Amino acid sequence: MEDLVTVILAAGKGTRMNSDLVKVLHPLLGLPMLSYPIELSLDGIRAEKTVVVVGYQADRIQERFKDLKIEFALQEEQLGTGHAVLQAAPFFHSFSGTVLILCGDVPLVKLETLHSFIGMHKENESVLSVLTAIVEEPLGYGRILRSLQGWLERIVEEKDASEEEKTIREINTGIYCVKAPFLMEGLRKIGRENAQGEYYLTDLVEIAKKNGLRCAAHIVANPIEVMGINTRIDLAMANEVLRQEKMGALMLSGVTVVDPKNTYAEKMVEVGKDTVIYPCCILQGKTKIGEHCVIEHNSRILDSMVGDGVTIGSNSVIIESQVEDQASIEPFSLLRSLSEVRGKQKPIKGWSPKVGHRRQKIRNKKEL
């Protein structure tokens, strides 16, 4: 969208992950968590510009995504969400459109949801809109306070909320649409007089209200889309959601997955129609499998190219290899990096299946 800039907040360490790795680089279905909001911006809504705010392990994040058309803003000291967006402000200081603010640790948001959210924001002519969710357990989240007419009045953080406000089940997801001119002006007015001593982006709502400007809140249909990843438990839950979606997509495309509950395929994996995948198989990386193949039980394939009509015997491991059309891999086979397996050869003159069969040729650039 030509009138939209995306800012993705990814500066925090993620202390509850108990990890030496910054939270947004933890893998989800084979890709870093941060890949998902970046993909939404670049390939989904096609924002005019995508700015990622980094802080902890900034160099590591920048190296991982250096080949993408994105900008990086550095938040050296983490002083809250308002402070984070302020670091990205130079990238849209002369911009007059809409700024979409996403979170690097909220990876399950659907493109359809963002389209609906952005459309609502523009239709209501609000200066600020927030995506919200109604949840059973709102503990730890900012609460949404609405006017009698349903407009957004205030967002109060958990630590600053009264006992009555804590009973509210509509929560802030951290995803916003803001008119750029108001955002630039409002960021300069945010203070840090709160329990955390931080610059809250949520304070923009009260700033807008004092100036007689309208703010809105849009409830997401499925709260799972806006779950934040804070612990390894959250990470596993999100991974399972994405795994199930991947299984569904494969089956709808014509792949037979005999036992979807016990099959794992990462996001980048491609599988052709009429291929059958038996239980407990693991397909990883940029693996591409052709049509009419049979992948038998307990096989693992990583970053490999498998042609059409291939049979891979049970308990096989194929790593960074190429398997040509019509080839057959025996059970318990191990193909190490850069292995090449040729397919069935055309019969030579004078050869008869009554005499015997030609052995499949395996050429390996390294030791098998």
pLDDT tens digits for the chain (368 residues)? 779 999 999 999 999 999 999 999 999 999 999 999 999 999 999 999 999 999 999 999 999 999 999 999 999 998 999 999 999 999 998 899 999 999 999 999 999 999 999 999 999 999 999 999 999 999 889 999 999 999 999 999 888 899 999 999 999 999 999 999 999 999 999 988 776 778 989 999 999 999 999 999 999 999 999 999 999 999 999 999 999 999 999 999 999 999 999 999 999 999 999 999 999 999 999 999 999 999 999 999 999 999 999 999 999 999 999 999 999 999 999 999 999 999 875 443 433 434 333 334 444 444 34
Q: How far is CA 328 from CA 296, 317, 322, 325, 345, in A?
A: 11, 13, 12, 9, 12
Give the count of beta carbons closer than 10 Å to the beta carbon of residue 82. 20
Where, residue-wise, is CATH 3.90.550.10 in the chain? 4-226
CATH 2.160.10.10 in the chain: give the residue spans.
253-364
Residue 253: C-alpha distances to residues 67, 241, 248, 300 (Å): 30, 19, 9, 21
Counting every residue written for the chain, the total comes to 368
Those residues with Cβ within 8 angstroms of residue 161's Cβ, 6 or more apart along the chain or in another chain: 143
* Residue type, position 75, single letter: Q
Q: What angle do CA 344, 348, 350 make, to 5 degrees?
A: 140
Residue 217 to residue 132: CA distance in whole angstroms: 6
Q: Which residue out of 16, 60, 232, 358 is catalytically annotated? A: 16
Strands 152-156 and 143-146: antiparallel
Q: Strand 49-54 to strand 143-146: parallel, antiparallel, or no bridges (unpaired)?
A: unpaired
pLDDT at 360: 41
- Judge whether 331 and 364 are in contact, CB under 8 Å: no
Identify any residues that bridge with 74 across adjacent strands, giving them in sequence order: 54
3-state secondary structure 273-312: CCCEECCCCEEECCCEECCCCEECCCCEEECCEECCCCEE
pTM, full prediction: 0.90
Handedness of CA 341, 345, 350, 354 (dihedral sign): positive
Identify whether 16 is a catalytic site residue. Answer: yes
Residue 86 parent element (H or E): helix 81-88
Domain 4-226 matching CATH 1.10.260.40: the answer reads no
Q: Determine the 3-state secondary structure of 175 from DSSP.
A: strand
Tell me which H or E stretch contains 115: helix 111-124
Q: At what angle do helices 203-210 and 180-187 cross, to 10 degrees?
A: 100
Alpha-carbon separation of residue 248 from 106, 199, 241, 261 (angstroms):
22, 42, 11, 11
User: For residues 24 and 114, is the Cβ–Cβ distance under 8 A?
Assistant: no
CATH code assigned to 253-364: 2.160.10.10
